[in-house]
Amino acid sequence: MRSNGGTPFGWDTAHDLATAGFIDDSNNSGTAFTLGCYFSGYGGGTYAIHRCFLDFDLSGIPVGSTINSAKLKIYGASSNSPHFSVTVVESDFIILKGTFTDGSSLATSMFDEFEGFQAGWDGTDAGIIEYSGEEASSWSTSGYNEITLNSSAITDITSRAGGSTRLAMVLMNHDHDYHDNPDGENGNELSFTYDYYKINFNMDPAQSNPPQLVVDYDEAAFEAETNTKLKTTSANLNIKSANLTIK
């Protein structure tokens, strides 16, 4: 989702919006824009911010499973300048915990639906929950990129496994958007010199190479107590002096 459409915005307005100005759920490549920030001289100077919102069904993971690891895989695409006067820099990004967990359709009102959002927020706020660190290197534009999710994400996957509550996440630019800093936490500002910080990737789940959540887990073992009888509709299973473990 993009912060604003045709209206010139200052940085604070673009960053703190509760409602996006534009939704795009198609796979983007080339001169299009999936995630990042940019500055334009339009209207005397305007900023725009693009964030990506993803959620995943966890009902197929058995309740009580031990989650060993989780990765987000997103298929990168080319990212080019729309004009010879526009400089494009590959954007770093970070993944935050989203709060849109009920499977609702994407809406502009979701632009602020991540844990800890408030006016003037930045990544140092206590309420912000990260699902990854800063991701910035070895970005493939023609294959899957893997991002290892952290313990906060694993805790949420564990508690929601087998249920209807989805795992929601917001991907955003790290050095500018996450840090609420148009000058760039790494010193590279959004300006006429560095116009676009962006990356492109597939985000449409109905098209080829969609985003994937890969979870490695062990199902909970079931142990029957000694001398306990398990009864089915057609037979009796009697266990004496032994344990029955189902995996």
- Model confidence pLDDT, tens digit, residues 154-190: 999 999 999 999 999 999 999 999 999 999 998 889 9
- Average pLDDT for 232-243: 46
Q: What is the pLDDT of residue 6?
A: 58
Domain that residue 168 falls in: 11-221
Question: Given a cut of 70, is residue 233 above it in pLDDT?
Answer: no
Q: Are 55 and 100 in contact (CB under 8 A)?
A: yes
What is the residue type of 227? N
Question: Given a cut of 90, is residue 223 above it in pLDDT?
Answer: no
Share of the chain above pLDDT 70, in %: 87
188 part of a folded domain:
yes
Q: Are 1 and 24 in contact (CB under 8 A)?
A: yes
115 part of a folded domain:
yes
Q: How many CB atoms lie within 10 A of CB 126?
A: 6
- Average pLDDT for 121-125: 93
163 part of a folded domain:
yes
Q: What is the pLDDT of residue 235?
A: 44
Query: What's the number of domains the chain is made of?
Result: 1
- Average pLDDT for 33-45: 85
78 part of a folded domain:
yes
Q: How many CB atoms lie within 10 A of CB 243?
A: 12
Between vectors from CA 193 to CA 190 and to CA 199, what angle results, nearest 5°? 55
- Average pLDDT for 223-239: 50
**227 vs 88, residue with greater confidence:** 88
CB crowding 157-178: b at 16 or more within 10 Å, else e: bbebbeeebbbbbbbbbbbbbb
CB crowding 207-236: b at 16 or more within 10 Å, else e: eebebebebebeeeeeeeeeeeeeeeeeee
At 188-216, the pLDDT tens digits run 899 888 889 999 999 999 999 999 999 99
Q: What residues contact 40, with CB distance under 8 A and at least 6 apart?
A: 46, 47, 48, 195
- Average pLDDT for 141-149: 95
232 part of a folded domain:
no
55 part of a folded domain:
yes
Q: Are 1 and 106 in contact (CB under 8 A)?
A: yes
Q: What is the pLDDT of residue 7?
A: 65
214 part of a folded domain:
yes
5 part of a folded domain:
no
Distance CA 220, CA 199 (A): 39
Q: Are 16 and 120 in contact (CB under 8 A)?
A: yes
Burial of 247 from C-beta contacts in 10 A (0-12 / 13-18 / 19+)? exposed
Q: What is the pTM of this model?
A: 0.86
